């Protein structure tokens, strides 16, 4: 059982926390809510964290950051370094932590344990009938927000040529990322859609080999 602690600001990670709990039974979650509102610059970020923050980080094997404020994240990074814990913070940039452009672009790093086995860049297993209709889609790995699971459901019963654009659109519809370009100067919804289309193409090719 992998121990994961989530730090979230004003419940912003709630949807992903719910999806992780529903999808994975080998991850133990603890969630810390940091409540705002917050000014653009926080002079003493440590005052916004619970007294047992160090204890929670030490308990964990992985830290997820849904704080979405550079000063709060900077404090969390400082404390995580003390205990040698990895932090994943999607859609941000920071030299000392893992910052995939979206939650569904995280690589499968062995050191990230069960979390990276279940969540990150999508992987599918598909069954296609002789007349080119998708009969089954199994999600082997996907987004922690649950978008991959919903997108996979949406293409069952469709022709392959229709399913490819549909899975991209369905992913974007169910994605929790904001529609505006992020720090990577790319629309995260587009990134999510494209990576799911690519994963389906790979699964279709494998099914036909």
Same domain, 48 and 133: no
pLDDT at 179: 53
Contact 33, 8 (CB under 8 A): yes
Same domain, 91 and 48: yes
pLDDT at 101: 87
Instruction: Provide the domain limits for residue 49.
Output: 2-99
In a domain, 94, yes or no: yes
In a domain, 72, yes or no: yes
* pLDDT higher than threshold 90 for residue 196: yes
pLDDT at 183: 53
Where residue 93 sits, what CATH number does that domain have? 3.40.50.720
Q: How confident is the model at residue 74 (pLDDT cuts 50, 70, 90)?
A: very high
pLDDT at 130: 92
- Measured CA to CA, the distance from residue 147 to residue 156 in angstroms comes to 15
In a domain, 148, yes or no: yes
**Mean predicted lDDT score pLDDT of the chain:** 92
Same domain, 84 and 128: no
Element (H, E) at 34: strand 27-34
How many domains does the chain contain in total?
A: 2
Q: Which residues contact 151 (CB under 8 A, 6 or more apart)?
A: 167, 170, 171, 174, 196
In a domain, 107, yes or no: no
Can you tell me the mean pLDDT for 30-41? 94
Kindly report, residue by residue over 160-186, the tens digit of the pLDDT: 999 999 999 999 998 877 655 555 556
Q: How confident is the model at residue 93 (pLDDT cuts 50, 70, 90)?
A: confident
Strand partners, 134: 128
In a domain, 108, yes or no: no
* pLDDT higher than threshold 80 for residue 120: yes
Quick check: bond before 159 cis, omega within 30? no
pLDDT at 189: 85
What would the two tokens of residue 196 be?
């799911």
pLDDT at 14: 86
pLDDT at 22: 82
Same domain, 77 and 133: no
- In this prediction the pTM is 0.89
Same domain, 10 and 60: yes
Same domain, 134 and 94: no
User: 10 Å Cβ neighbour count for 190?
Assistant: 15
- Measured CA to CA, the distance from residue 62 to residue 137 in angstroms comes to 30
pLDDT at 175: 87
Same domain, 93 and 132: no
Question: Tell me, what DSSP letter sits at residue 180?
Answer: S
């Amino acid at each position: 059982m992998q121990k994961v602690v989530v730090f979230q600001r004003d419940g912003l990670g709630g949807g992903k926390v719910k999806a992780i709990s529903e999808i994975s039974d080998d991850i133990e979650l603890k969630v810390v809510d940091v409540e705002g509102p917050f000014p653009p610059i926080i002079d003493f970020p440590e005052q916004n964290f619970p007294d047992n923050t160090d204890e929670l980080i030490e308990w964990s094997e992985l830290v997820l950051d849904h704080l979405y404020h550079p000063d709060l994240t900077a404090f969390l990074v400082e404390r995580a370094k003390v205990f040698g814990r990895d932090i994943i913070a999607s859609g941000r940039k920071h030299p000392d932590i893992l910052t995939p452009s979206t939650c569904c672009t995280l690589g499968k790093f062995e050191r990230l344990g069960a979390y990276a086995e279940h969540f990150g860049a999508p992987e599918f297993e598909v069954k296609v009938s002789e007349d080119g209709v998708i009969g089954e889609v199994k999600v082997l790995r996907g987004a922690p927000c649950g978008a991959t699971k919903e997108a996979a459901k949406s293409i069952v019963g469709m022709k392959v040529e229709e399913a490819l654009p549909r899975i991209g659109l369905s992913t974007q519809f169910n994605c929790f990322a904001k529609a505006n370009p992020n720090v990577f100067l790319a629309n995260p919804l587009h990134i999510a859609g494209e990576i799911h289309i690519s994963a389906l193409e790979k699964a279709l090719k494998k099914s036909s080999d």
